[in-house]
Amino acid sequence: RKEVEQDPGPFNVPEGATVAFNCTYSNSASQSFFWYRQDCRKEPKLLMSVYSSGNEDGRFTAQLNRASQYISLLIRDSKLSDSATYLCVVNPSDDYKLSFGAGTTVTVRA
Amino acid sequence: GAVVSQHPSRVICKSGTSVKIECRSLDFQATTMFWYRQFPKKSLMLMATSNEGSKATYEQGVEKDKFLINHASLTLSTLTVTSAHPEDSSFYICSASGTGAHEQYFGPGTRLTVT
C-alpha cells in the first residue's frame, strides 16, 4: 500500500466553482501534513500546512481527519490560475522525510 | 524568504558521462537537503537526504556510487549522476529545510536528458 494516495482526477471545473478532494495516508503516526501545488514541469510549491483543527488560507481550506487518516483540500471561487496538480504530502515519521502523493490535477475553465 | 536555486535547469548529456547538479539555499541555512527524482505523471521519489558535513542517507534502491551527493556547506548541496544512462533521464529536484522545520522548499528542478 502506498504511503500517500490521491485521486488523480482530473477535476474540471468552471471559474467560480468550488472543488474539493482528499488524500489518504497509511501511517497513523504521521505528524505533519501539507498541500503543495505543482505546475506543469515546475517544482512543487508549498500551498499550506494542515493543522489538526483545520485551517483556512484565503480561498483554500484544509482539513485533517486523523481517525480516518485523510486530509482534504477545498478551493472556493476557483480561478483560472488555480489550475495545477495538488500534491498531498505527509511526514510519516520522526525524521524530516516527506512522502508525496502522485497529485490531483485540477483544471479551471473560463 | 525560503528561496532555493538549482543549476542547471536543463542538461543534455551523452551516455556514459557524468553530470553535476547544484542546489543552493539563498536566504536561509539549510541543515538538511533532499534530492528527489520525478518521472512524468508520477510522484516525487526521494533519492537521498543530506545533512551538512556528513554522508548522505540513500533510500532503498538508490545506488550511492552512481548518485554522489556532497553537502559541503549550509547553503550548498550537489548531486553528481555518474556514468549516466538513458534511463537516468528524469526531473531531478532538490529541497531544503531549516533547523527543526518540517516544511521543505524546492529548487526549480533540473531536467536531465541522457542520449
How far is it between the farthest Cα atoms of chain A?
A: 44
Nearest CA in chain A to B48: A97
Cell of A51: 493543522
Q: For residues B34 and B72, give the distance between their C-alpha atoms in angstroms, rounded to a whole number.
A: 14
Closest CA–CA distance from residue B45 to any residue of chain A (Å): 8
Answer yes or no: is pLDDT of A22 > 80.
yes
Between chain A and chain B, how many beta carbons pairs sit less than 8 Å apart? 46
* Mutation target among A43, A85, A86, A105 for the B interface, most CBs of B within 10 A: A43
Cell of B4: 532555493
For B19-40, how does the pLDDT look when each residue is reduced to its tens digit (9 = 90+)? Answer: 999 999 998 888 889 999 998 8
Residues of chain A with Cβ-Cβ distance to B93 below 8 Å are 43-44
Answer yes or no: is pLDDT of A13 > 80.
yes
Mean pLDDT of chain A: 92
Q: For residues B113 and B115, give the distance between their C-alpha atoms in angstroms, rounded to a whole number.
A: 6
Please report the sign of the dihedral spanned by the C-alpha atoms of residue A55, residue A57, residue A61, residue A66: negative
pLDDT score, position B113? 96
User: What does the pLDDT average to over B58-79?
Assistant: 92
Residue type, B88: D
- CB burial string A4-43: b at 16+ within 10 A, e below: bbbbeeebebeeeeebebbbbbeeeebebbbbbbbeeeeb
For B74-101, how does the pLDDT look when each residue is reduced to its tens digit (9 = 90+)? Answer: 899 999 999 999 999 999 999 998 776 6
Cell of A90: 505527509
Q: Does B78 touch chain A (CB under 8 A)?
A: no
Confidence of residue A94 (pLDDT cuts 50, 70, 90): low
